[in-house]
Every structure is written in C-alpha cells, then in structure tokens.
Amino acid sequence: VATACYIARTYGVHSAQPMFKARQACPDAVIISPDMAKYSAVSGQVRQLMESWTPLIQPLSIDEAFLDLSGTERLHGKCAAQSLVTLATQIEQQLGITVSIGLSYNKSMAKLASELDKPRGFACLGQQEIIPFLADKPVSWIWGVGKATRARLYKDGITHIGQLQQRSESDLVAHYGKFGYRLYRFSRGEDSRPVETRRQAKSISAETTFATDISDPVHLERRLWQLCEKVSHRAKAAGQCGTGVTLKLKTKDFRIRTRSAQLSAPSNLAAEVFQHAQRLLAQETTGTAFRLIGIGLTGLEQPGAAQQQPQQQTLLSDPAPRHHVVEQALDAVRGKFGPHAIDKGRGFAPKQK
C-alpha cells in the first residue's frame, strides 16, 4: 500500500502494508494502481510554487518538504504563516490538490505540527509552549521512534515524552546509545539541523511485497531483476554510481534479512547490480518463503570516466564493458519509445502450460 484514504484508515489500512492484509481489513476498498510519472510531474509543479516563496527547500519525499522562510517577511510583505496560507491556496487552485502545513521554529517540530491537522490543515507550534505541549504525548510522537524503539522504551517504563524530559542527556545516552541524544533533544523540542537544499542521498533502493509468499528461486530472481533495473534507472537518472549492493528479504513471519556485497568498481549497471544481488539471494533460497524482496545500491558517488565512456568490444572482452554497451543501447531505445519498449527475457514470467 503506497497510501490510504482517511476512510480506509479507519478500517486499519495504512501505508507500507501488504496488499493481502489491506484487502482483509477493508474488503470493499477501491484499489488504484500508482502513476509515478504523474505524481513526479505534479511534485515538480508544487516545487516550482514553493520556489516562488523561498529557495531554501529540502524535499523529504515526493510529497513532503521543509521550507525555510527566514528573512522572507520583507521580501513578500507577509509573515511566514501568511506566506504558507497563500502557498497552500495557490497549490489547491492551480493544481487541484490539498496540502497540510506545519509551522514551527525548527524541522522536527514543523514535521510534528504537520501531522496535527490533516487533511487540508494548518498547525503551528511555538517555542515557548513546546515543553508542556509535548509532556503528555506518547513517545511515538518523536520523529524517528519506530516500533522497535517504542517497544524498548515501553519495556523501560517510558511511555510519554514527559518521562524523557525528566531524564538527563547522559542517562539517555547510557541507555540508548547515540539515539539517546535525539531522545533528549527532541523531547525538549530542540533541533539545530538546517534546511539542506542539496542533501546527498546515501543509497537508491526499490522493493516489492508479494500478494502470496514466494519460495521459488526462479520467481524470486525474476522479481530481483526487475528491481535491479528500476534501481539502475534511478541511479543513471541521478548521475550516480554505487560501490555496494544490499539485498533485503522479509520472511512470512515478518523477519527481515539483509545481505550486502561490495562491487569491484563503482557501477550503476543493472546487470552488475543483479550479478552481485543474485549471489546474495542464492545463499538465502533454501526453501524459505518470502513476502518481500528489495535491492539497494549503496555508497553513491559521481561516475568516473571509466563508467561514462564505452569501450571497443570483442567476443573475448571482459563482460563488464559489454554490459555497459548493451545497457546504453537498451536505455536509448527506452528513452525514445518508452520504458517497456524493450526488456530482457529474465524479466518475463514463464508461460503457463
């Protein structure tokens, strides 16, 4: 599930949920296939409207971003709240979509404020009121506290943010390591991180959840190849190469397995990513049924001349340069005729006899 409307959420449907569970929770749900090209285009239009108010924009995802409006009051003749209301109105009138806005004095509190009034809402959190406001809120309200951290805090008897506010920084660090610093600061509404306009991604990844658990190695490899092509396409579009590959698997009992390998040289070629991922997968396909598979290209960097320039090939040449030439040809065809104009056989499901 990419996202769920508010009515579906009342039935227990939520994002990142396996589809079979969503159907069980809400049998009458209307399932809409995603249109990422359309979403990306609209996201770009929203970004353009944001840029008319401030150049300091840090995207969090395709539909979420931080804006730093410091110093724009004199430029626009409006305070930050007025500017954001005008921006929300522009987005709704020009693009036909609604937004929810959180206004505060730092990123973590703005993120929290944005969750307080949805959909089509506006919430503001001030610095003077933040300590008492947070005190009776559950620890899950802290950005970054997921199920595992929440369970650990609950085990230690900490269920509300006010309990964290009563602990010293050294005590929290002693109990929770580096994350203790975040618990201490965020429980007090502190966050010194600036809005980063050119934040460098650390990895590019893709994953898919199966409608039914899969143990067949051939079927898993086919899905893995499709993901490798998707990751490769994104890396090439971003002008990035990776130095490592990470395979992610989720078993039918929801246990996560991750396996990693280093590439012999930085690459963004689907064939090379698949080659390493295939070896990692082979070590795990021992009859275990999986409900999710994912692949990530890690250690991103700009491609060097060796990755950018094709080389003369012979039948006895090293396969890596041949992969480069083949993928350049495939990319050229897809760029002209569409992403599915040409595909490799390993991406197709076998015909049923």
Both 149 and 163 in one domain: the answer is: yes
* 192 inside domain: no
- Identity (one letter) of the amino acid at 341? A
Both 227 and 301 in one domain: the answer is: yes
Both 157 and 233 in one domain: the answer is: no
Calculate the average pLDDT of the chain: 87
Average pLDDT over residues 130-140: 97
Q: What is the tens place of the pLDDT at every residue in 260-282?
A: 999 888 999 898 999 999 999 99
- The residue with tokens 């009458």 is 28
Q: Is 51 a catalytic residue?
A: no
Both 180 and 110 in one domain: the answer is: no
Burial (Cβ within 10 Å: 0-12, 13-18, ≥19) of residue 336:
exposed
Both 52 and 148 in one domain: the answer is: no
Number of domains in the chain: 3
* 198 inside domain: no
Both 343 and 217 in one domain: the answer is: yes
Domain that holds residue 135: 130-187
Angstrom distance (rounded) from CA 3 to CA 221 = 27
Average pLDDT over residues 67-94: 95
> Backbone phi, then psi, for 162, in 5-degree steps?
-55, -30
* 79 inside domain: yes
Statement: residue 318 has pLDDT above 60: no
Both 272 and 342 in one domain: the answer is: yes
Q: What is the CATH number of the domain that holds 163?
A: 1.10.150.20
Transcribe 185-218 into DSSP letters.
HHHTT---PPP-TTPPPSEEEEEEEEEEEE--HH
Both 237 and 340 in one domain: the answer is: yes
- Of 51, 64, 92, 169, the catalytic one is 64
Statement: residue 126 has pLDDT above 60: yes
* 197 inside domain: no
